[in-house]
Amino acid sequence: PVASEDQRFCLREVLDTFRLSLSEKKEVYLEHYVAGWRGLVKFLNSLGSVFSFISKDAVNKIQILVSYLNGENGSQYVTVQSMVKYELENDFVDQTKRGSHPESGCRTLLRLHRALRWLELFLERLRTSTEDSKTSVMCAEAYNESLAQYHPWVIRKAAGMAFCVLPGRSAFFEVMNVGPPEQVVAMLGEALPLISEVYQITEDLYTQHNLLNLP
Ligand code: 1PZ
Ligand 1 centroid vs 191 CA: distance in angstroms? 20
Secondary structure (3-state) at 22? strand
Mutate to test the pocket of ligand 1, among 151, 188, 212 (most ligand atoms within 8 A of CB): 151
pLDDT digits (tens, 9 = 90+) for 38-72: 999 999 998 989 999 999 999 999 999 999 999 99
Any domain includes 73: yes
Angle formed by the axes of helices 30-46 and 105-127, to 10°? Answer: 50
Residue 12's pLDDT band, with cuts at 50, 70 and 90, is confident
Q: What is the per-residue pLDDT across 71-81, written as a single tens digit (0 to 9) for each?
A: 999 999 999 99
Number of H helices, E strands in the chain: 9, 0
Residue 204 CA: distances (Å) to CA of 61, 104, 170, 196, 209: 21, 19, 36, 12, 9
The protein residue whose alpha carbon is closest to atom 32 in ligand 1 is 58
Quick check: 1 pLDDT over 50?
no
Domain around 42 = 11-96+116-208
Question: Does residue 215 lie in a domain region?
Answer: no
Residues 6+ apart with CB under 8 A from 9: 39, 42, 43, 46, 175, 176, 177
Q: Is 155 in the pocket of ligand 1 (CB under 6 A)?
A: yes
Q: Kindly tell me if the per-residue pLDDT of 100 is higher than 50.
A: yes
Q: What is the pLDDT of residues 105-124, one digit of tens each?
A: 999 999 999 999 999 999 99
* Res. 7: pLDDT tops 90: no
How many structural domains is the chain composed of? 1
DSSP one-letter code for 213: T
110 within some domain = no
In this predicted structure, the answer to whether residue 2 has a pLDDT above a threshold of 70 is no
Q: What is the CATH classification number for the domain harbouring 26? A: 1.10.3520.10
C-beta neighbour count of 147 within 10 angstroms: 20
C-beta of 159 in contact with ligand 1 (< 6 A): yes
| Residue 5 forms part of a structural domain | no
Residues 6+ apart with CB under 8 A from 53: 158, 162
ipTM given for this complex: 0.97
